[in-house]
Amino acid sequence: MSGPMVKAEAVHKSFGRLEVLRGIDLEVNPKEVMCLIGPSGSGKSTFLRCINHLEKIDAGRLSVDGELVGYRQHGDKLYELPDREVCQKRSEIGMVFQHFNLFPHMTALENLIEAPIRVKKASRSTAVTYARALLDRVGLADKTNAYPKQLSGGQQQRVAIARALAMDPKLMLFDEPTSALDPELVGEVLDVMRRLAQDGMTMVVVTHEMGFAREVGDTLVFMDGGVIVEAGKPRDVLANPQQERTRSFLSKVL
């Protein structure tokens, strides 16, 4: 594809009277890793959820791979897609949450094969073969029959990443994937994400891990109050922020 993988144009989102996104404009190119940073309540996670239509935007336009998210355009009007079509589009976007959201009654392998079989109608044998390869890819080949409660937080998050990859997504969204982990488990999850980036996966990552953003990110976006305050190459933004608000934030987290 030649155009951006994600394109946001004047995206607004409110919850009641609280305006959470106040005109977000950005583009994420194929194979790009974009890291979103900013204080709690700045709109980062809400924007991520808008990308796969877990939240509906109130104004503006948001497209993934050249197609509007959740809507179809006829003339000048936008029409919301039926749930089935939204779910189909959403299946092309992997999302990894802060809390792992694994099915507790299923083994690691069963967590991975559920969606490919139900949504993509893959055969069980095909799904199992691919799931085993993905668990190996995230360093958990020996945990296929383990239940989530038998895994550490870092292992559960790696299973969650593998589960998202099982749908062969064109885009991966990460919502603070390491913030619920003990510090010594953070590295193993970031290593998996680092390898994904090296393999060319397009990724949008909400994170507090500035080292990861500096090393792996292609673009760093600082958000505050529902707007983009500053964006650029991670090393430039972190070493020499241009905006006072960015400087103030980074002085507290670096």
Residue 127, pLDDT score: 98
CA distance 98 to 89: 22
**Total-model pTM:** 0.95
pLDDT along the chain (254 residues), means of 10: 90 96 98 97 96 93 92 85 86 93 97 95 97 97 98 97 97 96 94 97 97 97 98 98 97 92
CA distance 66 to 126: 30
Interstrand relation of 6-15 and 18-28 (parallel, antiparallel or unpaired)? antiparallel
What would the pLDDT profile of 180-212 be if each residue is shown by its tens digit? 999 999 999 999 999 999 999 999 999 999 999
Structure tokens at 196: 């994904």
**pLDDT above 70 as % of the chain:** 100
What would the pLDDT profile of 130-169 be if each residue is shown by its tens digit? 999 999 999 999 999 999 999 999 999 999 999 999 999 9
Helices 153-165 & 124-137, crossing angle to 10 degrees? 130
Structure tokens at 65: 């791979």
CA distance 214 to 221: 12
Structure tokens at 249: 């934030």
10 Å Cβ neighbour count for 252?
7
The separation between CA 6 and the C-alpha centre of its own chain, rounded to angstroms, equals: 12
Mean pLDDT, rounded, of the chain:
95
Task: Tell me, letter by letter, the H, E, C secondary structure of the chain.
Answer: CCCCCEEEEEEEEEECCEEEEEEEEEEECCCCEEEEECCCCCCHHHHHHHHCCCCCCCEEEEEECCEECCEEEECCEEEECCHHHHHHHHCCEEEECCCCCCCCCCCHHHHHHHHHHHCCCCCHHHHHHHHHHHHHHCCCHHHCCCCHHHCCHHHHHHHHHHHHHCCCCCEEEEECCCCCCCHHHHHHHHHHHHHHHHCCCCEEEECCCHHHHHHHCCEEEEEECCEEEEEECHHHHHHCCCCHHHHHHHHHHC
Is-contact 24 210, C-beta < 8 A? no
Count, residues in the chain: 254
